[in-house]
Amino acid sequence: MSRRATFILVLLCFGLSARAELFTRSKKIYRQGSDTWVKITPGNKKLQPFDHPHQFTEEAMERYLAAIRYFRPSLPLLTGKKGSEWDLLTAEESARIAPYLVKALAQAGPGEWVDFSIGVYRGGTLLGTFRQSDGVMFVKNGELNLAFRNLSLRKSPGDASTAFDPTRSYDSQVRIAPGPGQQLKQTTTPKGKTSEEINWVIMSAAEPPLLRPAAQPETESKEAGPAPAPAPASARERLKELKQLYDDGLISREEYEKKREEILKQL
């Protein structure tokens, strides 16, 4: 075989390998619409290896989720110190997604974590809003870590969600309100300054924390009226999000092509 032919063959094999890696970088465990999912994806390499696979019971996972509470400032543009604490999920919502998180953590490898999202509706028929909470989950050094991208984000069903690594960055004043058996991730800068990651909560993987008295999920008040609807995503953003869903294996080729045509027809 000539050197040119050998070179082309090597490039071809490399391309096929890269393509295979592209379509196997995530594994779908559960999906409901475009706002609720559980999938296994490659985790932050700086945090690896994880204690995966890891076994949890569904009951324990429900307790972990039910124990999470967040704080939303009432005046986020000012000090952000005054506000209210709310339960992230109800018992029913925790029970709905817990089995899939348990399944995903039992299948994940040392270099993979669980990417999840759950969309819920808060409030009455006229004053309610749709909310999404999403992030990543992993076990490290005997501790269960949950790092959130969004905490009860007000949005409309089907709106594009921003995909990024929440262990690297977070841009919101809405923050985890840790209780007994919970702590925020501590980060130390090269200069020795320590800070808390307000979107990242850590709990013992051996025992779920004790539940606090229910704060109830956040809803819209009649005085405040419904939250303003977010600006609709552009066609470019919707196409990018659609392609991301397809690349992550969350929708089929047929679903991708059909939805893509619908978006293009609206231009």
Q: Which sequence spans correspond to the domains of the chain?
A: 27-231, 233-267
Give this prediction's pTM: 0.72
Q: What is the distance between the alpha carbons of residues 21 and 229, in angstroms, rounded to a whole number?
A: 38
Q: What is the pLDDT of residues 125-183, one digit of tens each?
A: 666 788 999 999 999 999 999 999 999 998 877 676 778 999 999 989 999 999 999 99
Q: What is the pLDDT of residues 47-90, one digit of tens each?
A: 999 999 999 999 999 999 999 999 999 875 555 678 899 999 99
**Residue 193's pLDDT is what?**
85
Give the contacts of 77 (CB within 8 A, at least 6 positions apart). none
| Rg of the chain taking only CA atoms, in angstroms | 21
| The pair of three-digit structure tokens given for residue 167, joined into one six-digit string | 């262990």
Give the contacts of 171 (CB within 8 A, at least 6 positions apart). none
